[in-house]
Amino acid sequence: MVFSEEKIEGMMSTHPVLQKLRKTETVIWINSNRTSLENANIPLSNKDVFEAEQLLRRFQPFFEREFGIPLGQLGMLESPLEEISSFHAAREDAINAKIPGKFYLKCDNDLPIAGSIKARGGFYEVLQYAESLALDAGMIKKHDDYALFASDSMKKFFNQYSIGVASTGNLGLSIGIMSAKLGFQVSVHMSHDAKRWKKELLREKGAHVYEYDGDFGNAIEIGREQTNAQPNGYFVDDEDSKNLFLGYSTAASGLKKQLDDKGITIDREHPLFLYLPCGVGGSPGGITFGAKQLFGDHVHCFFVEPTHSPSVLLGLETGLMNNISVHDIGLDNVTEADGLAVGRPSGFATKLNDQLISGIYTIKDDTLYALLAQLADKEGIYVEPSATAGLLGPEKILQTSYLKENDISPENITHIAWSTGGSMVPAKNRQQFYEKGHHLLKKGYFHNK
């Protein structure tokens, strides 16, 4: 869809927040379309999430054989939940105000094998495809030992098939690593903003990596066309994948167990607030959907997007969903948060997110780096820039009337910022990230605002 300048100016007038987006100003947007899960029109159910979890359980022997993950642990796709009280105190000092409630980091930067939030969705998409092929060929039954998927005969079988995906980074890693391990011919189509080290790691793991001068939209268009042109090609479509979404949703049951183990109750008087970095909206949307299944209206989910790539906010505010791009309002979609560098939101996820999320705030690249250094200094946790996006969540929400309008006592909130990636970042890159953030902190980045 091509918009005339007159049409864009009309949208700017009708939706004033777009004027701030065009100027790359930070905004906090509250979703007026949010409804309860019972009233939402969602083409998925708790049964779908349960079946996704069961498939991952069937593959546990494969994970043990190929990756050394102990049997009986869904820990293969679980990450720590860490209270970040020292960082919490640092943020209170930075804004010279109390931030009520408890503050935790969901450390998907430490997820095994692929080290990012994309692991659950990417792995699930590939594994369900592998299972369906093996079942149809009579090579396995669901009650069999899935260590068979690590056999040479199975890998030879999968080598007849190709998998393609477009990615700004972390999804490519999860799809590439798992597909190559199973024996698939895998191609990852990557935009210019994807980090060099991620491309090199994928090649080391056996994936074919294609690079494009354009952004994610260009990579996904070419990747989709090339993969679908192959006789046995299967394209993992980040813009329109139910399976990716379901894979991400399985994170919620692990989170609930961690909260239970810590004695944290989630109910009307003790709500849960999740702050989720957002690219096309699939991974934060899937986590939101899974969390809503378990916690209902007692969980409040906020997405975070870079000021240069607020694609989901743009699609939701205008109601155009995936029919509008940040380029249409003059933004360049250039950000250091490579996993969030997306100009157009997911068609599948955005329609669901419109009904479930509480809001979105945007964040500047320099803020990501300053938060990265602050988290490292105060907690000894090192992540990539995009993984810090949710760390401003509690203080951002305090700036709005959201708590008052929803009759929420701030003292009883459990805040969780969801990390995206970081453990696989090479030491040299990690040091560069930290030094940039540390330099900003030394100059009084937060205290000068």
| Residue 72 in this model has a pLDDT that exceeds 60 | no
Q: Residue 50 domain-assigned?
A: no
Region of residue 101 (phi > 0: left; psi between -120 and 50: alpha; otherwise: beta) = left
Q: Tell me: the pLDDT tens digits for 388-440? A: 999 999 999 999 999 999 999 999 999 999 999 999 999 999 999 999 999 99
Q: Do both 123 and 153 map to the same domain?
A: yes
Please check whether residue 97 lies inside any domain of the structure.
yes
Is 71 a residue whose pLDDT tops 70? no
Return all residues near 216 (Cβ < 8 A) that are at least 6 apart.
166, 167, 168, 191, 193, 279, 280, 333, 341, 342, 343
- Residue 133 sits in a domain whose CATH number is 3.40.50.1100
Q: At what angle do helices 46-58 and 118-136 cross, to 10 degrees?
A: 70
**Structural domain ending residue among the three candidates 241, 271, 295:** 241
| Alpha-carbon radius of gyration of the chain | 21
* Confidence label for 73 from pLDDT (cuts 50, 70 and 90): low
The pLDDT > 70 percentage for the chain reads: 98
Tokens of 290: 């899974």
pLDDT digits (tens, 9 = 90+) for 24-52: 999 999 999 999 999 999 999 999 999 99
State the average pLDDT over residues 207-224: 86
Tell me, yes or no, whether 447 lies in a domain: no
pLDDT of residue 416: 98
- The verdict on 397 and 266 lying in the same domain is yes
Considering the chain, what is the average pLDDT of its residues? 94
pLDDT at residue 255, rounded to an integer: 96
The CA-CA-CA angle for residues 92, 98, 104, to 5°, reads 65
- Do both 236 and 269 map to the same domain? no
333 and 318 belong to one structural domain: yes
- Token pair in block for residue 388: 């810090």
- Residue 350 forms part of a structural domain: yes
Asked if 100 and 178 sit in the same domain, the reply is no
Residues 434 and 299 in one domain: yes
Residues 159 and 122 in one domain: yes
Tell me the average pLDDT across 366-377: 98
In this structure, the answer to whether residues 81 and 132 fall within a common structural domain is: no
Is residue 24 included in any domain, yes or no?
yes
- Domain boundary, last residue among 241, 258, 286: 241
**What is the percentage of the chain residues whose pLDDT exceeds 90?**
86
Of the candidates 446, 431, 287, which has an alpha carbon nearest to the alpha carbon of residue 371?
446
Domain boundary among 225, 241, 257: 241
Q: What is the pLDDT of residue 30?
A: 98
Read off the pLDDT band of 382 (50, 70, 90): very high
Domain that holds residue 405: 5-43+73-114+245-442
Highest mean pLDDT pick, 114-118, 125-129, 194-198: 125-129
Q: Say whether pLDDT at 74 is over 70.
A: no
Task: Report yes or no: 126 and 188 within 8 Å, Cβ to Cβ.
Answer: no
How does pLDDT run across 249-271, given as a tens digit for each residue?
999 999 999 999 999 999 999 99
Instruction: Dump pLDDT digits (tens) for 148-174.
Output: 999 999 999 999 999 999 987 889 999
Are 235 and 250 in a shared domain?
no
Tell how strand 185-190 and strand 208-211 pair up. Answer: parallel
Token pair of 401 as six digits: 């009337």
What integer pLDDT is reported at residue 193 of this predicted model? 72
Please state the rounded mean pLDDT for residues 372-380.
98
pLDDT at 75: 46
Taking residues 288-298, report their average pLDDT: 97
Residue 301 falls within a domain, yes or no? yes
DSSP structure class, residue 69: P
CA distance 142 to 124: 16
| Shared domain check, 288 and 259 | yes
* Minimum mean pLDDT range among 59-73, 310-324, 427-441: 59-73
Q: Which pLDDT score is estimated for 449?
A: 59
Based on the domain organization, do 206 and 331 belong to the same domain? no
Q: Mark whether 39 and 173 lie in a shared domain.
A: no
> Is 223 inside a domain boundary?
yes
The number of domains in the chain is 2
